Amino acid sequence: MPSDAHLAYAGEDPGFPDSWEFVGGKQSVARQIGNAVPAKLAQAVGLALVSAKGDVPLDF
């Protein structure tokens, strides 16, 4: 099982702010981090969907 320090570091990768508080045990926290979608990726997907839906230019 990963250490708490390792999980805290892994949470930084998907873009969680330092103030983000994970709830649950180590396995639950690891699952939350593993299932996270980075904010920039979510933004890109959302903009692409809006652009595809109508005549909205895609602007990053």
In a domain, 31, yes or no: yes
Query: Encoding tokens for residue 4?
Result: 């708490």
Q: What is the pLDDT of residue 36?
A: 85
In a domain, 41, yes or no: yes
In a domain, 17, yes or no: yes
In a domain, 59, yes or no: no
Query: Encoding tokens for residue 57?
Result: 């230019």
Q: Which residue range(s) make up the domain with 21?
A: 4-53
pLDDT digits (tens, 9 = 90+) for 25-47: 989 988 888 888 888 888 889 88
Q: What is the pLDDT of residue 10?
A: 66
Note whether 18 and 38 are within 8 A (CB): no
Number of domains the chain contains:
1
The whole-angstrom separation of Cα 5 and Cα 28 is 15
The whole-angstrom separation of Cα 30 and Cα 1 is 9
Please provide the average confidence, as pLDDT, over all residues in the chain: 78
